Amino acid sequence: MTTSAIDIQQTAINTIRTLSMDAVQQANSGHPGTPMALAPVAYSLWADHLKYDPANPNWVARDRFILSCGHASMLLYSLLHLAGVVETDGVGEPTTQPSVSLEDIRNFRQMNSPCAGHPEFGYADGIETTTGPLGQGLGNSVGMAIAAKWLAATYDRENFELFGFDTYAICSDGDIMEGVACEAASLAGHLKLSNLCWIYDDNEITIEGRTDLAFSEDVEGRFESLGWRVITISDANDLLSLTAAYQKFKTTNDKPTLIVVKSIIGYGAPNKQDTSGAHGSPLGDEEIALAKEAYGWAHDKFSIPEGVLDHFQATIGDRGAGAYSAWSQKYEAYCKQYPSESAELKTMFAGELPEGWSDSLPEFDADAKGMASRASSGKVLNAVAAKIPNLIGGSADLAGSNKSNNDAEGAGHFSSNDFSGKNFHFGIREHAMAAIGNGMSLSGIRAYVATFFVFTDYLRPSLRLSSIMHQPVLYIMTHDSIGLGEDGPTHQPVEHLAACRAIPNVLVMRPSDANEVSQCYAAALGDKKRPTVLVLSRQNLPTIDRAQYASAEGVQQGAYVVKDSEGTPDAILIGTGSELQYCFKAAETLEGEGLKIRVVSMPCWKLFDEQSAEYRESVLPSSVTKRVAIEAGIGMGWEKYIGHMGQFIGMDQFGASAPADELYEHFGITAANIVAKVKSL
d(CA 107, CA 622): 48
**3-state SS class at 36:** helix
Active-site residue set: 430
End-to-end CA distance of the chain: 86
Considering Cα of 30, then 36, then 39, then 41, what sign does the dihedral take?
Answer: negative
Asked if residues 237 and 295 have their Cβ atoms less than 8 Å apart, the reply is no
Cα dihedral value 505, 647, 651, 560, nearest 10: -40
Does residue 24 contact residue 287 with C-beta atoms inside 8 Å?
no
CA separation for the pair 508, 502 (Å, rounded): 10
Per DSSP, the three-state class of 294 is: helix
Beta bridge partners of 371: 541
Instruction: Report angle CA 527, 151, 419 to the nearest 5 degrees.
Output: 115
Burial 561-598, CB ≥16 within 10 A → b, else e: bbbebeeebbbbbbbbbbbbbbbbebbeebeeeebbbb
Cα–Cα distance measured from residue 66 to residue 73, given in angstroms and rounded to the nearest whole number:
11
φ and ψ of 258, to 5 deg: -110, 120
SS3 33: helix
Q: Phi and psi dihedrals of 371, rounded to 5?
A: -150, 160
367 DSSP β-pair partners: 543
- How many angstroms from the chain centroid is the CA of residue 584? 38
Could you tell me the maximum CA-CA distance found in the chain, to the nearest angstrom? 96
User: Could you tell me if 443 and 436 are in contact, meaning their C-beta atoms sit under 8 angstroms apart?
Assistant: no
Side-chain half-sphere exposure of 52, counting CA atoms within 13 A: 29
Q: In residues, how long is the chain?
A: 681
Q: Residue 339 and residue 335: Cα distance in Å, rounded?
A: 5
CA angle 512, 514, 519 (to 5 degrees): 85
